[in-house]
Structure 1
């Protein structure tokens, strides 16, 4: 049993500072909305140009880049079909949320959205080809869709590629002044953390190496960062890469493995941080701002005990509570915490009068409004216990009477 009844991890009362529930949006939120709309409109305009140019080039490629050889009917078909196709494309792109993503974090998820959008547009192009009176060449549709897909994808990922290149050049130019970081864990959390370290222009840190216990990952790279060993290699790699900070990026693990790895990290003398649990990462991203120092719970080797304070209060309030061994180390702490819950009567029962007296006087000073009865006796004395029960009628008993030197008393 925990020696503190009021230990509790309060996840319900945390306030989300990024959320605003007022009747009107603050100016900062209004500005963010305007920025998003402006960027979405710019990206939509670029998409319109890409589609128009792609299908025109498709027509030019079909006729070997000879504009004069293109039949007039195909040019008219282009002028009638492409505007309609552009409108449909913008609607499809919006449905697939291609104007909602933060493209500097673009990854496989965003790429799959682009593929899904163009699969729908492929069906749309077949439908238009079948129902429209002017039959455009098959190459017009095939090449136009391929060019549109390539250019739309390149447009969206270009920012990330440019930022990554700039960050890598900056890191090479100022590598000596950067804080060198070791990442524990080559999973999704570690990968996202490395990506943010590379992309951020405000962080003067460099991911130098990765540690992972999976032998199949040894010698491989994540965004250019090598996986150099397992947990047993941490001290050696800290020295080899001159590491000053270690980040434990395996939020899904707990128990003995977590405790063992964190203890090894602490022994290196490096600053150690941990990525919070997945349930804390509401937006699905691992961020450097989410990192926190190692806490005692991380080193328990088990899940922390969560105590229901409200339930305990309602359980003890107005009750006659008896604590056997109430003057001992555990019993006295139980008495302190029970007294806070406003019992009807707190009975301190102990065989040793000095300890019982000490806790009695302490409770009288701290909780003068609580009725405390101090009784001396042994839990092995049946007659004494019968007297206590018949006189005070305790409703709840915390049995904390025990010998401390168990091996001696057993002998």
Structure 2
């Protein structure tokens, strides 16, 4: 059923283009003679159409104008249309010179008719796409949560197009530090100012959301922009690298919450996981301060590498209880031994070390807030 529908749509587009050829040819004659075409030239124009229309029909098919759909008409489609019209016009010109009809085809007609044809074919496709998108998405304008996009480059333009079709978001404007872009428009949305103006425009447009769309920027620039967002008190999302974006169309679905890595100011450190596994797998590992925030996370990460035994050492009975309950639930196959005691208790520490003989000790029993303690 869909194939039949597509065939009919393609045939309809082909028929429209041939009618446009006839219309452009006739209008070009009317313009040449100010609306009053002499009888002999009128007959010559109609006779010429008998071979002009087939020429354009063949050229349109050769250039594959009907492989795409009008609802997705874009710049590549217009380029194909322009190339096919230029080739068709050249063939018609050569044919007119070689055949030398009586009366001759006016040179102005040979030049004006391709221009009119391009306006008709390109304009029809643009109007169809605009009308279709307004029918599908026009009702969404004014709805959704207001959001500002930081970055008016390629990624920002792609994102603006997706946001225009979203019922969840409403794009109020873009920001970019490039002075050449400020005051211009991206798909109908104004580039309001620079990144430093975020606080003012966020308050002006009553928005709590910002999407950073500068994936090609340096880490330092990303960090600076993210810091401006934090200072402005808005909720920040980021657009990932542009390379995977070009592989698919739905860019809005790839927007994610900002991570700590985006604020590091450097590339995140990649841990040599095979080396860590070789270091911990099948070994007896001990963590002092195991019930604390750092020590407990160390215990969780260590158990991922299946040590022979994990000795969790901490002064707090309650913290140790909570940790052991969690680890037994998440890693039931691992052996976890709790030891409640002070890391400054040398006798208990000696007994623990002698009893379990750990291969590796992670010493996390220390005060983190050094200025306070």
TM-score (norm 2): 0.68
Summarize the alignment of residues 298-337 of structure 1 with structure 2, pairs less than 5 Å apart.
298-304=262-268, 311=274, 315=278, 320-321=282-283, 323=285, 336-337=300-301
Q: Partner residue of 1:81?
A: 52
Cα distance, 1:167–1:268 mapped onto 2, change above 3 Å = farther
Q: Distance in 2 between matches of 1:407 and 1:185?
A: 39
Shift of 1:361: 7.6
Question: Of 150, 153, 156, which aligns to 1:184?
Answer: 150
Q: Partner residue of 1:68?
A: 39
Instruction: Extract unaligned runs of 5+ from structure 2.
Output: 344-349
Q: Distance in 2 between matches of 1:334 and 1:80?
A: 82
Q: Distance in 1 between matches of 2:25 and 2:289?
A: 88
Q: Partner residue of 2:114?
A: 145
Which is worse superposed, 58-67 or 213-222? Answer: 58-67
Question: Of 175, 179, 188, which aligns to 1:211?
Answer: 175
Indicate if the aligned counterparts of 2:86 and 2:114 stay in contact, CA closer than 8 A: no
Q: Partner residue of 1:157?
A: 126
Instruction: Extract unaligned runs of 5+ from structure 1.
Output: 1-29, 378-383
Indicate if the aligned counterparts of 2:309 and 2:336 stay in contact, CA closer than 8 A: yes
Structure 2 SS opposite 1:217: coil
Q: Partner residue of 1:116?
A: 83
Q: Partner residue of 2:16?
A: 46
Structure 1 SS opposite 2:283: strand
Structure 2 SS opposite 1:100: coil
Cα distance, 1:407–1:151 mapped onto 2, change above 3 Å = closer
Summarize the alignment of residues 165-184 of structure 1 with structure 2, pairs less than 5 Å apart.
179-184=145-150
Higher relative contact order (CA 8 A, sep 6+): 1
Q: Partner residue of 1:10?
A: none
Shift of 1:101: 4.8
Indicate if the aligned counterparts of 2:208 and 2:234 stay in contact, CA closer than 8 A: yes
1:233 is the counterpart of 2:203:
no
Q: Distance in 1 between matches of 2:278 and 2:283?
A: 10
Indicate if the aligned counterparts of 2:70 and 2:129 stay in contact, CA closer than 8 A: no
Indicate if the aligned counterparts of 1:316 and 1:338 stay in contact, CA closer than 8 A: no
Cα distance, 1:372–1:188 mapped onto 2, change above 3 Å = closer
Q: Distance in 1 between matches of 2:110 and 2:327?
A: 89
Q: Distance in 1 between matches of 2:337 and 2:170?
A: 63
TM-score (norm 1): 0.63
Structure 1 SS opposite 2:118: helix
Q: Distance in 2 between matches of 1:164 and 1:83?
A: 33
Cα distance, 1:398–1:112 mapped onto 2, change above 3 Å = farther
Indicate if the aligned counterparts of 1:58 and 1:143 stay in contact, CA closer than 8 A: yes
Cα distance, 1:112–1:347 mapped onto 2, change above 3 Å = same
Cα distance, 1:331–1:285 mapped onto 2, change above 3 Å = same
